[in-house]
């Protein structure tokens, strides 16, 4: 499998277009069209919410009761949900506009909407948008990119993925785009996903592949705990790759499923990482559960836990919250036989005797402390609390796996001068890149840091030491105090903040 740069136009025979139809806002694109040059077999999965938006009901009819599809029309800004019969009529009128503009049957047009619930679509603008996009259809990379941007609502970045595989000596491509940021919760999320492929496959197997893959991808995402009315994932396959048609569950089918899983997994992670207000993406992997169903139950319980999310947001390895979430999940397991690990880009925690786990950075700092001879071991050993024993960490020096060893780099300490102090608005702008929200805190901190160092440099004649200058931040656990301070400290190489 080869990962490529692309989206809905990556597969042969697919084109895309976008336009600014002014559905709700002015000055931004808000409609996208995906079109196949030839008829496609279509598969889809939809929201489990009892309150289903009009586009969901329209697409379910097309996917389940018709043989083929040619186009997808999507608008952002207004969801066309809770709009009664009038909303469903607008789906039909949208399909009619596409039929007239593209010369295809109305029942081969799929529609999707995302945005505010309860408002009626301005159908005249929708129809005009369809007519404007039809002549602009292109199979270029740029056309696919712009379509991905047009379907965004509260998303902060476009979401695309594409891969190439080989089936029967032919190159098969699977590409896709999606949107999703708020109302994100298991059993899909407030998300729209559009996957295209030039694979030749039966409609039945296409639907089965998508339905199975959704369980381990989009259905495992959680941000805010709400399940939307508009959730839709559509998969179109036009057979233009020229591979031997997949009509049974053989090696070719498995290869296609792997490609589909990669695209869906990538898009699902982008949705989770771009959740409204999200500052971190965390994944939960359960190994050794009695069944996959129990593993799913346990992992979902953890990712949907508000306390766990708060701990991750605060970069606090509060493993008790994770074990707690597992405990109320409903899955049966022995708490005494659970090994729990945190792993980041820095690597996995190291196992120590006595079921103790420590990160590589902490391990290295422990070795440094021992080697520097700053610990009076006799006093430490003579004043241990009851039931606490010492572990000889020095004996573990050669037990750290090579990949987990932290190699310290010698860095020359740059002397900090008054010219290095950025203005408050620059400090604030840089904090905006790392921290979402907390506007007042960022402004106050930026001004405080600037004024503080100005005073320090003005008072250097009096022996003020920068390294011993402190800033006190007060706030509840998980509010981002350390993150705010470290963002400034690391970005500008200024003194460390003691919190």
Residues with catalytic roles: 190
Query: For residue 400, what are its two tokens?
Result: 């750290």
Query: For residue 345, what are its two tokens?
Result: 């880009």
> CB pairs under 8 A, 24+ apart, for 140-145?
140/9, 141/5, 141/6, 141/7, 141/9, 141/10, 143/9, 143/15, 143/16, 143/17, 143/18, 144/6, 144/7, 144/8, 144/9, 144/10, 144/16, 144/175, 144/177, 145/7
The answer to whether 229 and 82 have CB atoms below 8 angstroms apart is: yes
The answer to whether 243 and 168 have CB atoms below 8 angstroms apart is: yes
Closest C-alpha among 230, 207, 236, 231 to residue 218: 231
Give 102's contacts (C-beta < 8 A, 6+ positions apart).
35, 70, 71, 134
The answer to whether 46 and 60 have CB atoms below 8 angstroms apart is: yes
Report the distance separating Cα 492 and Cα 423, nearest Å.
Answer: 12
């Amino acid at each position: 499998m080869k990962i490529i740069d692309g989206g809905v136009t990556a597969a042969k025979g697919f084109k895309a277009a976008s336009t600014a139809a002014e559905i709700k806002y002015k000055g931004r694109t808000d409609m996208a069209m995906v079109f196949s040059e030839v008829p496609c077999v279509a598969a889809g999965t939809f929201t489990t919410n009892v309150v289903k938006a009009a586009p969901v009901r329209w697409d379910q009819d097309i996917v389940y009761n018709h043989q083929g599809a040619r186009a997808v029309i999507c608008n952002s800004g207004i969801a066309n949900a809770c709009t009664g019969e009038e909303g469903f009529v607008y789906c039909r009128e949208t399909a009619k506009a596409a039929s007239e503009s593209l010369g295809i049957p109305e029942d081969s047009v799929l529609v999707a909407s995302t945005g505010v619930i309860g408002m009626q679509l301005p159908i005249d603008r929708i129809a005009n948008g369809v007519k404007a996009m039809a002549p602009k259809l292109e199979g270029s990379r740029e056309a696919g990119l712009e379509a991905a941007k047009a379907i965004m609502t509260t998303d902060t970045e476009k979401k695309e993925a594409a891969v190439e595989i080989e089936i029967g000596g032919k190159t098969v491509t699977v590409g896709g785009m999606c949107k999703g940021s708020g109302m994100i919760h298991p059993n899909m999320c407030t998300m729209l996903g559009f996957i295209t492929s030039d694979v030749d496959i039966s409609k039945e197997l296409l639907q089965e592949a998508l339905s199975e893959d959704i369980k381990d991808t989009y259905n495992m995402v959680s941000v805010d705990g709400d399940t939307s009315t508009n959730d839709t994932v559509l998969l179109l396959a036009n057979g233009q790759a020229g591979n031997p048609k997949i009509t049974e569950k053989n090696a070719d089918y498995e290869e296609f499923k792997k490609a589909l899983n990669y695209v869906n997994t990538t898009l699902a992670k982008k949705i989770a990482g771009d959740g409204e207000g999200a500052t971190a993406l965390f994944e939960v992997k359960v190994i050794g559960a009695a069944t996959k169903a129990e593993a799913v139950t346990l992992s979902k319980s953890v990712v949907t836990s508000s306390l766990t999310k708060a701990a991750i947001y605060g970069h606090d390895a509060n493993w008790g919250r994770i074990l707690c979430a597992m405990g109320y999940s409903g899955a049966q397991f022995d708490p005494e036989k659970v090994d729990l690990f945190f792993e980041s880009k820095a690597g996995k925690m190291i196992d120590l005797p006595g079921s103790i786990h420590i990160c590589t950075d902490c391990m290295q700092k422990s070795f440094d402390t021992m080697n520097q001879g700053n610990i009076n071991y006799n006093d430490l050993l003579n004043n241990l609390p009851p039931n606490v024993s010492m572990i000889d960490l020095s004996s573990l020096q050669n037990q750290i796996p090579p990949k987990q060893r932290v190699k310290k780099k010698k860095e020359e300490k740059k002397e900090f001068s008054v010219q290095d102090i950025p203005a408050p608005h620059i400090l604030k702008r840089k904090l905006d890149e790392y921290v979402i929200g907390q506007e007042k805190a960022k402004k106050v901190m930026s001004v405080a840091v600037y004024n503080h160092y100005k005073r320090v440099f003005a008072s250097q004649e009096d022996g003020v030491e920068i390294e011993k200058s402190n800033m006190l931040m007060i706030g509840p656990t998980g509010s981002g105090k350390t993150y705010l301070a470290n963002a400034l400290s690391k970005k500008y190489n200024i003194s460390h903040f003691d919190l």
